[in-house]
Amino acid sequence: RVIDCRGLIVCPGLIDMHVHLREPGEEWKETIETGTKAAVAGGFTAVACMPNTKPPNDNAEVTRFILKKAEEAGLARVYPVACITRGQKGESLTEFGELKEAGAVALSDDGYPVSDAGLMRLALEYAKNFDLPIISHSEELALSKGGHVNEGLASAKLGLKGIPAEGEAIAIFREAMLAKLTGTPIHIAHVSTKEGVEIIRRAKAEGIPVTAETAPHYFSLTEEATFGYQTNAKVNPPLRSEADREAIIKALADGTLDVIATDHAPHSPLEKLCEFEKAACGLIGLETALPLALRLVREKVISLSRLVELMSCNPAKILGVPGGSLKPGEVADVTVFDPEKRWVVDEKALHSKSKNTPFLGWEMQGQTVITIVSGKIVFSRL
């Protein structure tokens, strides 16, 4: 079949290394099928799914279940991320070898920081033997617990307990020191602050093996999106200040941040149409990530090839999975998108089962046209 791609961009399949697919256990929010449908509609040919499912992905059976569901859906590739600690309780390590054998590509207690530095050190040393990257949810719970929004403008305006930027920086600093101590790479999830970026920049300059990601909401929005108690803008880490947003953008451009990942976190209306303090944290991101990243290209902050590095090549390298580059003769994962196409985010048109995005009603520019996984068209707007 010949596809006329004149005026379109053809690039290696996008890889989102941080999504929550909610299966098993919370299928009312998302399933592996609906989540991967949203992924391919957003141009992602692969996603890495976080282990805070119910039960958590802390054993080979859950890992295999996820892979089976993904195969049945037949849409995007799904790379399971398994727990670092049993039940994500931060007390004892999981069986890394068994998890790897079952198909896990990385380890993380995303959603729950591993508070014990000694246990994290052990995890890094142990993970090295299995070549499993560790993804750190860098949060200092002693400072963030009970917080709902950024500490600063938002906490003052809304009269709610805040989550200080310094807590993220403290946690990232610890991870950088542990990576140095163990000589094992560590990947920092969802960086949201200027202070966090500065620690990563210094660590990289020293040659410490640290990589890091941010999410489109951290470079597109500030804490002001939560004003008026907008629960769709409640997320952890929280939306930050304008200075933080600018620092994140600079870090994407200068190589301090390596990856744009969505932290796609579906929640049902029940969990969002409620009091701000009771609302769940998280927002969906798979179908808006590409146009939000393309805004940075249009604003000439990053080049189009840098976008492909951030959303395809680097996640593939960090996770050690195929993709990122098209080698002659290989059956490819390919994303084709129209960088000019304008569209409005309308909940009825979203493929995700949940609709919790602060971008509802926004006009976007740039849209996926065709998504090809392993040579097969899995999504097409043609």
Determine if 279 is a binding residue for ligand DOR (CB under 6 A): no
Determine if 16 is a binding residue for ligand DOR (CB under 6 A): no
* Bond preceding residue 80 cis, omega within 30 of 0: no
- Residue 94 CB, shortest distance to ligand DOR, in Å, is 18
SS3 content of the chain, % helix, strand, coil (to 5): 40, 20, 45
| Polymer length in residues for the chain | 382
Residues 217 to 236 in contact with ligand DOR, rule: CB under 6 A: 235-236
- Identify which of residues 145 and 298 has a Cβ nearer to ligand DOR in the complex: 145
Closest CA to 157 of 266, 233, 236: 233
- Identify which of residues 235 and 248 has a Cβ nearer to ligand DOR in the complex: 235
Which tokens go with 189?
A: 């999830």
- Residue 196 CB, shortest distance to ligand DOR, in Å, is 15
Burial 78-106 (b: 16+ CB within 10 A, else e): bbbbbbbbeebebeebbbbeebbebbbbb
Residues 332 to 361 in contact with ligand DOR, rule: CB under 6 A: none
- Residue 263 CB, shortest distance to ligand DOR, in Å, is 6
263 counts as catalytic: yes
CB contact at 8 A, 319 and 133: yes
- Residue 77 CB, shortest distance to ligand DOR, in Å, is 21
Among residues 24, 113, 282, 324, the one that binds ligand DOR under rule CB under 6 A? 282
Determine if 52 is a binding residue for ligand DOR (CB under 6 A): yes
Eight-class DSSP state of 238: P
Residue 304's identity, in one-letter code, is L
Chain residue whose CB lies nearest ligand DOR: 282
Determine if 281 is a binding residue for ligand DOR (CB under 6 A): yes
Q: Which of 58, 244, 263, 333 is catalytic?
A: 263
Residues 89 to 148 in contact with ligand DOR, rule: CB under 6 A: 110-111, 137
Q: What are the φ and ψ backbone dihedral angles of 5, each rounded to 5 degrees? A: -105, 20
- Identify which of residues 218 and 337 has a Cβ nearer to ligand DOR in the complex: 218
Helix and strand numbers, DSSP H then E, in the chain: 14, 14
9-12, strands of its sheet edge to edge: 9-12, 334-344, 363-373, 376-380
Q: Residue 199 belongs to what H/E stretch?
A: helix 194-205
- Identify which of residues 20 and 194 has a Cβ nearer to ligand DOR in the complex: 20
Among residues 18, 20, 100, 264, the one that binds ligand DOR under rule CB under 6 A? 20
d(CA 347, CA 283): 13
Residues 153 to 182 in contact with ligand DOR, rule: CB under 6 A: none
Eight-class DSSP state of 83: P
Taking the CA atoms of 348, 352, 353 and 359 in sequence, report the sign of the dihedral they define.
negative
- Residue 242 CB, shortest distance to ligand DOR, in Å, is 21
- Residue 189 CB, shortest distance to ligand DOR, in Å, is 8
**Which positions are annotated as active-site residues?**
263
Binding site for ligand DOR (CB under 6 A): 20, 52, 110-111, 137, 235-236, 265, 281-282
